[in-house]
């Protein structure tokens, strides 16, 4: 191998194939690995994606995919892997992070992002690679693997999201049963409340000409979604993050996210599960928080049921965020043991 140098409401039974992990399990992240290479890769006449390679150039390659859509990559994604054993590749998806043009929605679809992963793999001259992704990163990882199963040596998925209408409706509407204040705060920012907090309407408001209205909706939407990103999300933490986001005057993450939501993630309904048989034979481990309100365990369970050789780990007393102790410990353990 050569290398170029330079992120539903269901009660799921525990079973032999679905071991539970306690949130008290602890493990330490690896230090941020040594930088090997970074730069921009031109993936179309319009887009250049920023990528960064870390760790051991002769190690096992892993493509770590960030969530969002639109969130951008971050060092923690590399810190689950032993830098002596792994060659870790991160990149910012189109319009995200340091990719250019920032916030661009044209030529920004799931198929585009899948092809970007493949172009980056080829550019770095990688053979089969481990694909790692959480939340939207799990959606993209599964979609890429179904398109290019021959290039995937294994998969580690967290907080599985399949991009279905069921999940989408739960995300925007189902969580109001648990976070009514935040939901109605969002609803009350919208001029036409009869339309509800529908993602198409939110996209229209946030990208509209009325900047005051857009900021109110951005603030309320961020507060609503952030509230269910962790099992214990303090109000002051949510408020601090929202203020920083608004102060930066950068709505690229929200606009990209809503762009994908509006277009139903550019996936056919139930596409990932319909094509899941393409992943037969690929080692796959799935980790989900028991009380993940952003990506409830039902989707992870469905993937596991469709791929009986996969391993599903349910982390008790944990929500969606990878920073929760139980989730972090599970990821570190799985990455260390993955062959």
Judge contact between 159 and 292, C-beta under 8 A: yes
Specify the DSSP class assigned to residue 100. Answer: B
Q: What does the alpha-carbon distance between residue 327 and residue 160 come to, in Å, rounded to a whole number? A: 13
DSSP codes, 154-173: EEEEES-----HHHHHHHHT
Task: Determine the length of the chain.
Answer: 339
Q: 91, 310, 320, 321: which is the annotated catalytic residue?
A: 320
Judge contact between 35 and 52, C-beta under 8 A: yes
Known catalytic residue at 116: no
Question: ∠291-294-297 over CA atoms, to 5°?
Answer: 50
How many CB atoms neighbour CB 135 within 10 A?
Answer: 26
Known catalytic residue at 17: no
Judge contact between 70 and 255, C-beta under 8 A: yes
φ and ψ at residue 212, rounded to 5 degrees? -65, -45
Q: 135, 223, 252, 321: which is the annotated catalytic residue?
A: 135
Smallest Cα–Cα separation from 294: which of 235, 247, 234, 225?
Answer: 225
Q: 92, 116, 257, 292: which is the annotated catalytic residue?
A: 292
**Burial group, residue 213, by CB count within 10 angstroms (0-12, 13-18, 19+):** middle
Residue entry with tokens 């933490």:
237
Say whether 208 sits in a helix, a strand or coil: coil
Give the strands of the sheet with 152-158, arranged side by side. Answer: 20-21, 311-315, 284-289, 152-158, 129-134, 60-65, 86-91, 48-55, 35-42
Q: Name the token pair of 95.
A: 């319009």
Known catalytic residue at 135: yes
Q: What residues are annotated to the active site?
A: 135, 292, 320
């Amino acid at each position: 191998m050569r290398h170029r140098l330079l992120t539903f409401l269901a009660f799921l039974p525990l079973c032999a194939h679905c071991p539970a992990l306690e949130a008290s399990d602890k493990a330490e992240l690896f230090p941020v690995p040594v930088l090997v290479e970074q730069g921009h890769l031109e993936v179309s006449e319009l887009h250049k994606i920023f990528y960064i390679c870390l760790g051991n150039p002769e190690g096992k390659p892993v493509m770590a995919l960030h969530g969002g859509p639109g969130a951008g990559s971050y060092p923690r994604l590399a810190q689950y892997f032993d830098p002596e054993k792994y060659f870790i590749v991160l990149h910012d998806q189109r319009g995200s992070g340091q990719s250019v043009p920032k916030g661009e929605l044209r030529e920004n679809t799931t198929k585009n992002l899948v092809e970007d992963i493949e172009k980056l793999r080829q550019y770095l001259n990688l053979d089969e690679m481990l694909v790692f992704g959480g939340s939207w990163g799990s959606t993209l990882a599964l979609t890429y693997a179904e398109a290019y199963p021959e290039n995937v040596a294994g998969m580690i998925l967290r907080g599985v999201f399949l991009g279905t209408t069921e999940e989408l409706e739960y995300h925007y509407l189902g969580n109001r049963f648990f976070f009514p204040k935040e939901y109605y705060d969002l609803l009350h920012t919208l001029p036409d409340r009869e339309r509800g907090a529908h993602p198409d309407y939110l996209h229209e408001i946030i990208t509209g000409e009325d900047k005051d209205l857009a900021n109110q909706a951005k603030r309320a939407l961020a507060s609503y979604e952030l509230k269910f990103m962790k099992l214990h999300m303090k109000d002051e933490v949510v408020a601090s993050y929202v203020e920083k986001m608004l102060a930066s005057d950068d709505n690229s993450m929200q606009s990209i996210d809503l762009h994908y939501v509006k277009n139903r993630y550019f996936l056919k309904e139930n596409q990932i599960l319909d094509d899941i048989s393409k992943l037969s034979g690929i080692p796959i481990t799935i980790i989900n928080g028991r009380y993940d309100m952003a990506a409830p365990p039902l989707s992870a369970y469905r993937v596991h049921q469709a791929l009986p050789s996969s391993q599903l780990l349910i982390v008790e007393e944990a929500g969606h965020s990878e920073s929760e102790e139980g989730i972090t410990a599970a990821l570190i353990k799985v990455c260390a043991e993955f062959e």
